[in-house]
C-alpha cells in the first residue's frame, strides 16, 4: 500500500524526504492529491512497509506543518486512514 505524508510546508516536506531517505526509506516527492484538502503542492510518497520508520522521523523533528498520512484506497484514490 502507498502512503503519502502530507505537509502544509514545501520546505518541511523536502526536509522530511531527506530525513527518511537517510535512514533507508525509498521515498519520492509527488503532487499532493486533492483528497488531502491541504498542502503545499508536494507530499512524500513511500510504501507502507516503511511507515514505522517515517513515524520515528516525525517524532524526532518539529514538523509543525505535518497534516497527516494519506493511504491508497481500492479505487486508487487517497483517504486519511489509521496510519
Q: Which residues contact 43 (CB under 8 A, 6 or more apart)?
A: 4, 5, 6, 7, 13, 29, 30, 31, 32, 33, 36, 70
> pTM to 2 decimals?
0.89
Give the domains, in start order, of the chain with CATH numbers.
Answer: 2-77 (3.30.70)
pLDDT tens, per residue, the chain with 83 residues = 899 999 999 999 999 999 999 999 999 999 998 888 886 789 999 999 999 999 999 999 999 999 999 998 888 888 887 65
Q: Where are the beta strands (DSSP E) in the chain?
A: 2-7, 28-31, 42-47, 66-72, 78-80
Taking a C-beta distance cutoff of 8 angstroms, is the pair 20, 53 a contact? Answer: yes
Q: Enter the C-alpha cell of residue 19.
A: 530525513
Amino acid at each position: 500500500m502507498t502512503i503519502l505524508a502530507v505537509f502544509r510546508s514545501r520546505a518541511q516536506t523536502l526536509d522530511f524526504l531527506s530525513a527518511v531517505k537517510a535512514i533507508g526509506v525509498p521515498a519520492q516527492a509527488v503532487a499532493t492529491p486533492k483528497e488531502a484538502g491541504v498542502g503545499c503542492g508536494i507530499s512524500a510518497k513511500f510504501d507502507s512497509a516503511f511507515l514505522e520508520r517515517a513515524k520515528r522521523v516525525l517524532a524526532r523533528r518539529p514538523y509543525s506543518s505535518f497534516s497527516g498520512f494519506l493511504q491508497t484506497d481500492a479505487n486508487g484514490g487517497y483517504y486519511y486512514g489509521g496510519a
